[in-house]
Amino acid sequence: MANKPSRDLFLNILKNFINSFRPRQIRGNYIGEDYFGNKYYEIPANPSTGKSKTSRWFEPRDKDAFDQELTAEWEAWLRGRREDPPTREELIQNLQIMEMKKRNAAELEKKFGKKDLQGNPLPKEPETIGTFPKYEEYEIVPGKDPEKKN
């Protein structure tokens, strides 16, 4: 008969109890920064302490703004869709492509304008369609008083 490894419950409990006194990493390792000024951090996985997944987060440049922009490369890294963080060269190249597309779209807009399928110019849309109304007496950013105009 082959010796089967026995599962010693008390030994596992004792090992886990002793490992719980080891210091854990609380502060993350600085990974990088994007061109918006957001800083990215990571705490790597440590299976010996029961942490099987890495923790990734970012600190925004402006902590009061709730509508932070993230680059697609950094967001993919944060969500775990890519293993390695993006390089500065990759970010610069994608930013240049994005700016080129904006320039091309502006040139086409200037050349052809907005037209419908028959070639007639489209009427200009009012700015309030699809947005919420803005009132001076209500605050825009929670916790900050609205600016008063005299």
pLDDT digits (tens, 9 = 90+) for 10-20: 888 888 788 77
Contact in structure between 61 and 37 (CB atoms under 8 Å): yes
pLDDT digits (tens, 9 = 90+) for 97-130: 999 999 998 888 888 777 777 777 777 666 555 6
Taking the complete model, does pTM exceed 0.75, yes or no?
Answer: no
Q: Give the per-residue pLDDT at 113.
A: 74
Between CA 70 and CA 81 the distance in angstroms is 15
**Coil, strand or helix: which one is 115?**
strand
pLDDT mean across residues, the chain: 81
Q: Give the per-residue pLDDT at 30.
A: 93
Tell me whether residue 77 is exposed, middle or buried, using C-beta atoms within 10 angstroms of its C-beta: 0 to 12, 13 to 18, 19 or more: buried
Query: Distance between alpha carbon 32 and the CA centroid of its chain, in Å?
Result: 13
Kindly tell me if the per-residue pLDDT of 49 is higher than 80.
Answer: no
Kindly tell me if the per-residue pLDDT of 61 is higher than 70.
Answer: yes
